[in-house]
Structure formats: structure tokens, C-alpha cells
Copies of this chain bind each other. A is one copy, B any other.
Amino acid sequence: MRDKAARTRSELIRSAATVFAEHGYSRAKLSSISADAGVSRGALYFHFPSKEALADAVEAAAAERFAGVTGHEDVNGARDLSRAVRAFADLYRQNVIFRAGVLLSCEKDRKSTVNLIQQWEEYVSTAVAAAERGYPFARSGVAGHASSAIVAMTVGLAFLWHENEQWLAESTVTGVWNLLPPLVGRMG
């Protein structure tokens, strides 16, 4: 029975992510989420007392997947960074829970418990700073701009992907990345 409850809960999180990603937080209907998960409204309320609670659960699940990308103990600079950018792009296009988590962190209508965009910014600036320490040729001041460029680029590519999937294709991400200064490493 406990297994079944856990399974229902995770099905509800996946359905909620799908509906949030498609319609946005405010327009998402709980009835669509329960129907999509194949459970009754009662079962939904048993697990999640409100839409807010569901959104929090989606964000927490997205943050777990994100930690799989970035959660090393140490950030080793350039190599980790180009891997993380690739992983962010792949996760965004392949995983609806991660995608919904990122989109929820940009919603003006609610306060995120976990702000994935902010976590991504922090990860990128830590990794760029580590890369700069190991890269004696860096012009001063480049690191801050490189962090901004990487965050803006990944967020922009993800946003544009909704219009056309080519924006997160491996060749686009690699090509765009390799225009950045060598400081932040190459993608193969």
C-alpha cells in the first residue's frame, strides 16, 4: 500500500509538471492534473492540499534532478562547466519535471520555494571563478561577464526551444558554447 501511495504521488508530480509546463501555473487546472494521472480528485487532495503544494513538489523534484547535474562536491572549473551546460540543455528538453521547475521559478504569480534559475546562476559563477583560477591568461573582469553570458545563453536557448526544438539541439549548444572564450573550456 505504501508503494502504491508513493507511486500515485510521483505520477501526480509528473502530471502536474506536464500541465504547468503546458499552461503555466495560474491557468493549470487541478482537474486536468488528476485526470492526467488517472486518479480521483480525492486522491489528489490526499497527497497535495493545494495547487501551491503541488507546485512546491514539482520544484523540489526538479531541484533533485538539477543536483544530479551540478551536485559534485567540488566544482573543478571549465570541464565541469561545459558538462553542466550540456546537461542543463539535455535535461530541459528531455525532462518535463525539470522544465516545469525552471518555468515555475520564472512565474510572477507565486513565490518559488526553490528558484532553479538562481541556483543555476550560482553554480555557473562558482564554476567560472574556479576556471579563472586555473587559467592564467584570463583578462581581469572577464569572469563576471562570462558567467552572465553563459546564464543568458542557456536561458535564451531554453526559451527559444519552445518555438523550435533546434535551439537545444546538441550541434546548436556546442556551436554556441565554442564561441565563448577558451577560459570556459571547449565542448567536443
Range for the number of chain A residues in contact with chain B: 20 to 34
Q: Mark A14-30, 1 if CB is under 8 A from B, else 0.
A: 00000000001011000
Which segment of A44-52, A61-69, A71-79, A175-183 sits at the interface?
A: A175-183
Nearest CB in chain B to that of A178: its residue: B145
Provide the residues of chain B in CB contact with A179, threshold 8 Å.
142, 145-146, 149, 180-181
Rounded to whole angstroms, the CA-CA distance of A142 and B180 in the bound complex is: 12
A91 at the interface (CB under 8 A from B): no
**Identical copies of this chain, number:** 2
Rounded to whole angstroms, the CA-CA distance of A156 and B124 in the bound complex is: 15
A contacts with B: majority SS: helix
Q: Are A117 and B176 in contact (CB under 8 A)?
A: no
A148 at the interface (CB under 8 A from B): yes
Provide the residues of chain B in CB contact with A27, threshold 8 Å.
26-27
A53 at the interface (CB under 8 A from B): no
Further pairs besides A145-B178, A155-B156: 5, Cβ < 8 Å: A27-B27, A117-B163, A148-B157, A152-B157, A155-B159
